[in-house]
A and B are shown apart, each in its own frame.
Chain A
Amino acid sequence: MKTSHPITADRVLREAQTLRWKIGATFHDDLVESLYKEASRLADRAVTRPGDTPRFDLDRTVDRIVTSRVWGFPLMLLLFAGVFWITIAGANVPSRWLATLLLDTVLPLLKQFSASLGLPRWIDGLCLDGMYRATAWVVSVMLPPMAIFFPLFTLLEDFGYLPRVAFNLDRWFKRAGAHGKQSLTMMMGFGCNAAGVVATRIIDSPRERLIAMLTNNFALCNGRWPTQILIASIFIGATAPPLLAGLVSAAAVVGVALLGILASLATSWGLSRTVLRGEVSTFSLELPPYRPPRFWQTIYTSLIDRTLFVLWRAVVFAVPAGAVIWLVANLQVGGTSVAGHLIDWLNPLGVLIGLNGVILLAYVIAIPANEIVIPAVLVLTVLMTGTTGVGEGAGVLFELDSHQATLQLLKAGGWTLLTGVNLMLFSLLHNPCSTTLYTIYKESGSWRWTVVAALLPLAMGLVVTFFVAQVWRVVAP
């Protein structure tokens, strides 16, 4: 080399260019190979293996069963059905306790207190009948199922089962033209869709990542599990003999969750064959070893991090929603409440798709958080039917003592089994909550895709419930 030339960055780069041609095309592979060889040499020196490792084989045997083509899916369904059954069976009683405590004991005390202060009627109504009751309802209806469901789910996760589910589903996602890792982001979506959308960062290809984002909403989230569980218990479970009611309800919830997976696959397939065409990337999915979960720590952290976190979010949204509901139910325009006008206006569409105006209005109020759909539905139903004996006046979110009473009320509001079924379907297939939409906007950086993410599932929900309603009305007596 001529040393008279000064060494510049450009010269070094040019040199690298020339040398690259001299060293041969296999240089990269050679390099990686030498790295592997060295790693293997060092590992061999450091690790002493026993003659045989029986426990290793235990892991493999378990894997062979849970990821087998024959047993993989049935086992998965059984496991999840079991989790839901425990949730449904276990949550009823504590729900009732909480309702009795918060509404039959604490509320009268608060009422007395506000009366002793001589507060105007509307302040008392807005704060206690609106905001306090909405919050109390959310706590009593959501806390028990979440406190059972989340720890169970977290235990499964810590044990290492979820990657096996992802492994089972991977094949299907690939066939749908999506990335196999989408099965993992969907698993996250079963907790929270906003979290699931953020998790799509593990997908490298922008095309596949967008598909994963747009379809994450089809994974039932925390806010929607309680709706599914409640409606399944009072409508579907009620059609079965009492002994089987819990199992049948659990099966219905699993059915809806499966339908969500199907919708996710179908939408991915549709997108990857139209607007988001492209190659499927390959990747390696590592199945981690099974690890015995640390039981008490898992229970503790899932209660603190997941249950209380979600509950707090629900309460934060329930407080203003309670105020809004109380206001639309009490503000009168032309002799009818604002809510009445809105419900009348939405009712024709609602009936057409096997729902009603009340449910659609509740979904509008619940755009910020799916958690408050059911409370909103119940109070609006009372308002419209003027049912006496439940609720205590226009716009009061109330607690019903048992599933039976809820059923009675909803029937008085004109609900049938079809309404229940379609509500479960619509709860699965509708626009994501505003938090998820905002997350999609932030992650995709595109308003257009955010609008698609909102309208696509909504359109699917309208179409599906419409067809179910038409078929039902023809087939059912």
Chain B
Amino acid sequence: MSTTPSVAPESACTGCPAHHLSNLRRLGVEMEDWDYVVALAGNPNVGKSTVFNSLTGLRQHTGNWPGKTVTRAEGGFEFGKQRYKIVDLPGTYSLLATSPDEEVARDFILFGQPDVTVVVVDATRLERNLNLALQVLEITPRVVVCLNLMDQARRLGLQVDDRRLARDLGIPVVPATARYREGLDTLLQAIAGVATGDIVGKPHRSLQEPPALRKALTTLVEHLTQLHPGLPNPRWVALRLLDGDERITAAVRSGEIADLATAQGRPLPTAPAAASAA
């Protein structure tokens, strides 16, 4: 844990399972304190609540329709001697915060500063789901993609190359079928790896922007970094400012954004720092 962070993994499958599901202790809602905070994000109806339930042992009602989870649910689990608090965010298509549920999700990922954000994506609708994953990656590199509904993908005859996706995104990608508890082992390891800093995501940010925008961005990013050295996502904040996002504008004005700089700039998360994220 105290060694310098390793390079990004080639894929989610970093070696064979050293841990097993038997190491997983579900804590339900009985969370007194925790070592790490994990956020669950994803489009509506991709099985976030199913993943949440199988990790926490809780029984949040899951249903086959979008919009099942309108508020965030919290639970906990213990894995490899560490206690994790997991927060199930409302399903959203984007983080542009045009509706209250999108705002809940975005504010938590940004200001709640989870140690790991798991983006659950529907393997059968990868393109649309990746929109959200890319937006999350703009905010934080501490991301694990859970490629859920792999059984559906197989049923449709789709072959999803999780290793290539992991390489392209620069973060761990774990294929899973949460309903049948398939892949949860690997998911837990990836979560633990990102949480402890053993796995450090290096997201490729290859978004192309028009030249006029690039210039404006460069200026703003430069000044934002001068204002708050260590701000983890100056480009994203700059974009939100250019877009006239009121919440972010207010956060810059009040200096709330600086908390991100100090908290996310920490080399490795420790238990008390994680607890302050609440």
Contact = CB atoms under 8 A, between A and B. Distances in A.
B156 A53 contact: yes
Nearest to A27: B213
A157 B127 contact: no
A15 B219 contact: yes
Interface in B115-137: 124, 126-128, 130-131, 133-135
A288 B216 contact: no
A42 B162 CA distance: 11
A12 B44 contact: no
A46 B253 contact: no
B89 to A, nearest CB: 14
Contacts of A27: 210, 213, 242-243
Interface in A6-24: 7-13, 15-16, 19-20, 22-24
B209 A30 contact: yes
Contacts of B169: 42
A31 interface: yes
A132 to B, nearest CB: 31
B249 A13 contact: yes
A158 interface: yes
Given A10-B253, A305-B59, A45 B164 contact: yes
A56 B156 contact: yes
Interface string A24-44: 100110111011111110111
A305 B156 CA distance: 32
B61 A43 contact: no
A13 B252 contact: yes
Nearest to B226: A7
B212 A24 contact: yes
B110 interface: no
A291 interface: yes
A301 interface: yes
A55 interface: yes
B134 A20 contact: no
B159 interface: yes
A29 B126 CA distance: 21
Nearest to B46: A288
B1 interface: no
A451 interface: no
A74 interface: no
B168 interface: yes
Contact of A46 (B59, B63, B168, B224): B168
Given A7-B227, A45-B164, A49-B157, A160 B134 contact: no
Contacts of B131: 35-36, 39
Nearest to B207: A34
A157 B63 contact: yes
Contacts of B210: 23-24, 27, 30
A264 B131 CA distance: 37
B220 interface: yes
A184 B160 CA distance: 32
Given A9-B255, A43-B127, A31 B152 contact: no
21 contacts: A8-B227, A12-B241, A12-B252, A13-B241, A19-B216, A27-B243, A31-B239, A31-B243, A38-B206, A42-B130, A42-B168, A43-B130, A46-B161, A47-B161, A55-B157, A162-B63, A184-B67, A201-B70, A201-B71, A286-B66, A288-B66
Interface of A: 1, 7-13, 15-16, 19-20, 22-24, 27-28, 30-32, 34-40, 42-50, 53, 55-56, 157-160, 162-163, 166, 181, 184, 198-199, 201-202, 204, 285-286, 288-289, 291, 294, 301, 304-305
